[in-house]
Structure 1
């Protein structure tokens, strides 16, 4: 099962119309899961009042937030 199909049951916040992790701890746990999935380092990053995940896929910088309780790339 892909990590992108797993539900994110952690608290979230909305910042600039993007749903993000509320805490660094939850973001760190999901960063580890995502890193295993994409086989590339992923780190939690503070964006406004929340936390997103940042890493690279095929050499392209990507940022992930949450959409509908699933991880989703954001810009």
Structure 2
């Protein structure tokens, strides 16, 4: 499930089959946008060589990365 239809266009890295933000700063900017849109706390987490967004939606822990230049939930 994608969150925004706007392209991310930030530098990304592939780690363990997931496309993640390359920098913490870019991930943090998107975390703020997602937090505002979903009205939940969203932070960033270092995963290998990249950064993912993390939050809790409807009682479920979620991680988001970049999927085809869109934000999408990472498979657990």
Asked if 1:16 corresponds to 2:20, the answer is no
3-state SS, counterpart of residue 46 of structure 1? strand
Bigger CA drift: 46-55 or 3-12?
3-12
Please report how far the alpha carbon of residue 4 of structure 1 lies from its aligned counterpart in structure 2 after TM superposition: 1.6
Structure with the largest fraction of helix:
1
Gaps of 5+ in 1: none
1:10-63 deviation line (CA, Å, top 9, x unaligned): 000000110000000000000000001110000010000000000011111100
Q: CA separation in 2, counterparts of 1:39 and 1:47?
A: 24
RMSD: 1.3
Asked if 1:27 corresponds to 2:33, the answer is no
Q: Which runs of 4+ in 1 moved over 6 A?
A: none
Q: TM-score, normalised by structure 2?
A: 0.93
Count of residues paired in the alignment:
74
Gaps of 5+ in 2: none
Q: CA separation in 2, counterparts of 1:48 and 1:40?
A: 25
Q: CA separation in 2, counterparts of 1:60 and 1:14?
A: 24
Q: TM-score, normalised by structure 1?
A: 0.94
